[in-house]
Amino acid sequence: MPYDYRKMTPAERAEVVKQRRDQGYPFHAPPHPFRQAGCYLITAAVFEHVSVMSNPARRSEFERDLLVSLASVGAGIDGWVVLPNHYHVLLNVPSLDCISHALKLLHGHTSQKWNLEDRLTGKRRVWYKFADRGIRDEAHFLRALNYIHYNPVKHNYTVDVYEWQWSSLFLYYEEKGRDWLRETWLANPPGDFGKDWDD
């Protein structure tokens, strides 16, 4: 949405803003219509999908900070993947408000740190908000989990999911085994999960 918006005519922009206002959504940010406790897929992308986390050490540090930040507000983390320009987390939360606050702090801290490291203070916006999707049932949960684990292949960062270390795949491998992962994939393939919002 933010990238398409900049390409629209003034009339098209006015229509999009009107539609969002009529639905009660923020004018220029992902809506968060559900605030209650539950299971959600959270997605956050670097602004304009710049590969700010292309350095493996930076990705590892961010992965650790992300998991610590979410756990500190009581989130139960069921799956995650960190890529050079975005991440996905599947979690159970007491409310979206606490997650929103934790991610705001994490994104602010990492933006400042990385811009200092890269000598781009005041010149680069790092994060663009986050989006959430409520998980409806166990099948939806497993599709989302498979989608997360397949994401590095989907975005051409690797050809084998087992080669991407910034993911919860290895926890599932250790706890449930490769056969469980394969059976779960066959029973709940991601299909077009992520179409139009993670392309």
Nearest CA among 44, 46, 198 for reference residue 111: 46
Q: Which residues pair with 76 in a beta bridge?
A: 92
Which CATH number applies to 32-187?
A: 3.30.70.1290
Q: Per residue of the chain (199 residues), give pLDDT as tens.
A: 445 656 668 777 667 666 656 545 444 444 444 457 889 999 999 999 999 999 999 999 999 999 999 999 999 999 999 999 999 999 998 887 888 899 999 999 999 999 999 999 989 999 988 888 989 999 999 999 999 999 999 999 999 999 999 999 999 999 999 999 999 999 999 988 877 666 5
| Token representation of residue 50 | 């710049």
* Residue 2: predicted pLDDT: 47
